[in-house]
């Protein structure tokens, strides 16, 4: 049995996203038990479900929230949810609420794994190669990292790859501003030297080649990983919007769109971040998945699915082996 | 009269790109004088042109080249070209050769402007708003920056905006991993405090909104600016490739493509980096434009056009005023 704690109140859509997602999960998986934390009257639909325990909460931590504030709001859904992981001996936790609050509460209350100085946000991304994903970390948990932390990221990325893609020997690259040794920030250069001794290290990679499909894992420091994530998102948005305009140009392009519809759908599916699910905070003593703040039921479902799969495949055990 | 020195030998395509570009420039502008540096036998086509002076060179600095190596290659086209800016009292210089060599020779030989500690690579980018460009710097001249250097970047970006878009009051943002004050790397946070006192400062901007069209200027440190540039490029490439696949899906989508062709062309034009031209190294005592290494004649022409326009509009004078 996999046991997940769900913060039912977090995110822009709150229970409108989480309740249908949880119902679908319970329907799809017999070996999943859910601890749902939220305002009781809003979770009425879940009361009679099998494999659910409801733990009541009173308040909701706002999306922009300091760590101190989140710590003090002891009756908030996210605070109770994080504490429930320990009390209920759950395998993981999912929330669409404030990223800062979720990451810091999880790290402070559930503790880091031995051999990890900084947990990292990790997520797979689509590549140019069909059905091939590249695993990126840290995409934004830290503001600044030291060289040995980047080395830990590499190990954790490899463990993740092994668990989720059954890839026993994942390669990894270090994101940099040039491919050759000697490129990169001072911290990056130091990390390169340490990584040269590690199995699977293929050297530096420029951001433009990250999605090409050669890499299994790419290590970023948290600050530039976040820039990568957000700039890719911005460019994807710009191109989607240009594409919409393109089809609106004239009556022929509108007919063209109708004829090309199937291809457009295929492209959309590939770029669909909803199906990639939220990002995992890797390196803490549980499986915490941060769903996007604006998750709808579908994308919240996929975030929970990630936690379920990683718990089932025992990511924590794999990480402990890799880190020691 | 605007006087530009051109490194005719640099770049993957060498004279095949530079000679036709220079011929077109001379044809298009009567008030442009070109000092062409390169191997004489390869520049025979330019010999009888009016408004050209040919300065012979013997070697070519390789694309991957250390600064020391570039300094020592005194008979190379880029080395002679940079020195010719001084000797010929030219207004600017254009090269498609090794970025490292070009940037360091230019900075060492032609000197930085007063009030500039680190020159920056600056370039306009298309946005979601039609005909609106956003000016980004530093997109990769530095590996690491201090807070006061980011402040200098902001001033230079505003001067550039004023000169090239006749925008007397350009706004500017600081790229960060969140919009609120207090976000960003330690250096970014320090820069934020300094920028708060400056006219036009609108706060932090997340990478995903940089191309939205609100910002006139966005300041990055060189390392993360480079990540932004390259990841946007990687995502644009991935989406173009998906788009090609989309049109290949079946016979209907192929017909769809033919019908939508005009829209596709419009989209390509917008994304066409060739027409944006190369990046300017801003903050040195001349106008050095670094064309892409793989420039063809068309894109090399646009790089030279940038140098011509900025020289004609007296960017250096504007910069000196803004920096003091």
User: What HEC string does A239-290 produce?
Assistant: HHHHHHHHHHCCHHHHHHHHHHHHHHHHHHHHHCHHHHCCEEEECECCEEEE
Top residue of B66, B127, B234, B250 to mutate, by most chain A CBs within 10 Å, is: B234
Burial code of B235-266, b = ≥16 C-beta within 10 A, e = fewer?
bbbbbeebbebbbebeeebeebbebbbebbee
Q: Which of A64, A207, A271 has the CB atom closest to B227's CB atom?
A: A207
Mean pLDDT of A164-180: 93
Q: Does A294 touch chain B (CB under 8 A)?
A: no
User: Which runs of consecutive H residues, i.e. helices, occur in A88-185?
Assistant: 99-110, 147-165
Per-residue pLDDT of A52-99, as tens digits, reads 999 999 999 998 878 888 999 999 999 999 999 999 999 999 999 998
Q: Does A244 touch chain B (CB under 8 A)?
A: no
**Does B294 contact chain A (CB < 8 Å)?**
no
What is the distance between the alpha carbons of residues A159 and A165, in angstroms, rounded to a whole number?
A: 10
Query: B16 CB near a chain A CB, below 8 Å?
Result: no
Instruction: List the single residue in A with minimal CA-CA distance to B264.
Output: A246
| pLDDT, greater one: A271 or B77 | B77
CB-nearest to A207 from B143, B234, B255 is B234
**What is the rounded average pLDDT of the residues B300-307?**
94
pLDDT tier for residue B176 given thresholds of 50, 70 and 90: very high
Q: B-chain residues within 8 Å CB-CB of A249? A: 260, 262-263, 266
Residue A276, pLDDT score: 65
**What was the pLDDT predicted at A106?**
95
Which carries the bigger pLDDT value, residue B240 or residue B312? B312
- Using pLDDT thresholds of 50, 70 and 90, give the confidence band for residue A236: confident
Chain A positions in Cβ-Cβ contact with residue B230 (cut-off 8 Å):
177, 206-208
d(CA B43, nearest CA chain A) in Å: 33
Residue A256 has its nearest CB partner, among B127, B236, B259, at: B259
B65, B246, B293: best to mutate for the A interface, most A CBs within 10 A: B246
Query: How does residue B275 score in pLDDT terms, banded at 50, 70 and 90?
Result: low
Q: How far is A100 from chain B (nearest CA, A)?
A: 11
Of the residues B182, B215, B230, B272, the best mutation for testing chain A's interface (the one with the most A CB atoms within 10 Å of its CB) is: B230
Mean pLDDT within A234-263: 78
Rounded to 5°, the CA angle A283-A288-A292 comes to 120
* A127 Cα distance to chain centroid: 17
Query: What pLDDT does residue A147 have?
Result: 97
Contact flag A266-B246 (C-beta cutoff 8 Å): yes
A-B contacts at Cβ under 8 angstroms: 194
Q: Quick check: A241 contacting B, CB < 8 Å?
A: yes
- pLDDT, greater one: B150 or A273: B150
- Comparing A100-114, A156-170, A256-270, A308-322, which segment has the lowest mean pLDDT? A256-270
Q: Do B242 and A212 touch (CB under 8 A)?
A: no
Mean pLDDT for the stretch of residues B287-302: 93
Most confident of A11-15, A215-219, A231-235, A246-250: A215-219
pLDDT digits (tens, 9 = 90+) for B16-50: 999 999 999 999 999 999 999 999 999 999 999 99
Interchain contact A184–B (C-beta under 8 A)? yes
pLDDT tens digits for range A112-160: 999 999 999 999 988 888 889 999 999 999 989 999 999 999 999 999 9
Q: Let me know: does B240 contact B159? Beta carbons within 8 Å.
A: no
Closest among A141, A92, A134 to A288, alpha carbons compared:
A92
Contact B98, B78 (CB under 8 A): yes
Between residues A261 and A27, which one has the greater pLDDT?
A27
Q: Which of A140, A260, A266 sits opposite B256 (nearest CB)?
A: A260
Residue B26 contacts A, CB cutoff 8 Å = no
Tell me, what's the pLDDT at B241? Answer: 81
Quick check: bond before A182 cis, omega within 30? Answer: no
* Residue A180: per-residue pLDDT: 86
Q: Is residue A157 within 8 Å of A184, Cβ to Cβ?
A: no
ipTM value, please give it: 0.82
Burial class (CB in 10 A: 0-12, 13-18, 19+), A195: buried
Cα angle A72, A77, A81 (rounded to 5 degrees) comes to 95
Distance (Å) from the alpha carbon of B205 to chain A's nearest alpha carbon: 11
Residues A91, A311 contacting (CB under 8 angstroms) = yes
Give chain A positions within 8 Å (CB) of B139.
Answer: none
Smallest CA–CA distance from A65 into chain B, residue: B180
Q: Is the whole model's pTM more than 0.80, yes or no? A: yes
Interface touch A227/B264, C-beta < 8 Å: no
Residue B154, Cβ neighbours under 10 Å: how many?
25
Q: Is the pLDDT of residue A169 over 80?
A: yes
Q: In chain A, which among 107-146 make CB contacts under 8 A with chain B?
A: 126-128, 140, 143-144
What pLDDT band is residue A271 in, cutting at 50, 70 and 90? Answer: low
pLDDT at residue number B237: 83
Q: What pLDDT does B83 receive?
A: 96
pLDDT over 70, % of chain A: 97
In this predicted structure, the answer to whether residue B273 has a pLDDT above a threshold of 60 is no
Do the chains contact at A260 and B264, CB–CB below 8 Å? Answer: no
How many other C-beta atoms are found inside a 10 Å radius of the C-beta of residue A233? 17
Average pLDDT over residues B78-94: 96
DSSP state of B96: -
Please report the pLDDT score of residue A237 as a whole number: 83
Residues B187-231 have pLDDT tens digits of 999 999 999 999 999 999 999 999 999 999 999 999 999 999 999
B264 touches chain A (CB under 8 A): yes
Q: Residue A272's pLDDT is what?
A: 65
Q: Given pLDDT bands bounded at 50, 70 and 90, which one contains residue A191?
A: very high
When pLDDT is averaged across residues B110-134 and rounded to a whole number, the result is 92
To the nearest whole number, what is the mean pLDDT of chain B? 91
Instruction: Give the pLDDT mean for B133-146.
Output: 93
Instruction: Inform me whether the C-beta atom of residue B249 falls under 8 Å from chain A C-beta atoms.
Output: yes
Of B241, B260, B270, the CB nearest to A260: B260
Give, for B233, the enclosing helix (H) or strand (E).
helix B222-248
Calculate mean pLDDT across residues A239-247.
Answer: 78
pLDDT in tens, B184-197: 899 999 999 999 99
């Amino acid at each position: 049995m996999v046991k997940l704690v769900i913060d039912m109140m977090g995110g822009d859509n709150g229970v409108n996203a989480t309740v249908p997602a949880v119902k679908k999960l319970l329907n799809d998986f017999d070996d999943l038990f859910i601890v749902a934390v939220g305002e009781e009257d809003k979770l009425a639909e879940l009361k009679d479900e099998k494999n659910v325990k409801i733990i009541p909460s009173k308040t909701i931590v706002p999306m922009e929230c300091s760590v101190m504030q989140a710590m003090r709001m002891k009756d908030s859904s996210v605070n109770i949810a994080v504490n429930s992981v320990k009390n209920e001996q759950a395998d993981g936790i999912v929330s669409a609420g404030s990223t800062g609050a979720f990451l810091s509460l999880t790290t402070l209350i559930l503790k880091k794994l031995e051999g990890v100085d900084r947990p990292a946000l990790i997520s797979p991304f689509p590549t140019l190669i069909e059905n091939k994903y590249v695993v990126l970390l840290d995409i934004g948990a830290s503001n600044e990292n030291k060289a040995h932390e980047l080395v830990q990221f590499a190990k954790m990325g490899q463990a993740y790859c092994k668990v989720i893609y059954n890839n026993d020997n994942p390669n990894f690259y270090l994101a940099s501003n040039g491919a050759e040794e000697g490129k990169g920030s001072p911290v990056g250069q130091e990390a390169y030297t340490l990584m040269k001794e590690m199995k699977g290290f293929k050297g530096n990679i420029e951001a433009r080649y990250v999605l090409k499909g050669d890499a299994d894992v790419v290590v970023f420091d948290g600050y530039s990983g976040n820039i990568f994530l957000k700039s890719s998102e911005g460019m994807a948005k710009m191109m989607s919007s240009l594409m919409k305009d393109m089809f609106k140009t004239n009556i022929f392009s509108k007919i063209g769109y109708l004829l090309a519809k199937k291809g457009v759908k295929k492209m959309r599916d590939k770029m669909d971040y909803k199906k990639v699910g939220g990002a995992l905070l890797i390196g803490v003593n549980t499986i915490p998945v941060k769903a996007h703040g604006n998750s709808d039921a579908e994308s919240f479902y996929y975030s929970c699915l990630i936690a379920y799969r990683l718990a089932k495949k025992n990511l924590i055990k794999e990480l402990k082996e890799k880190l020691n």
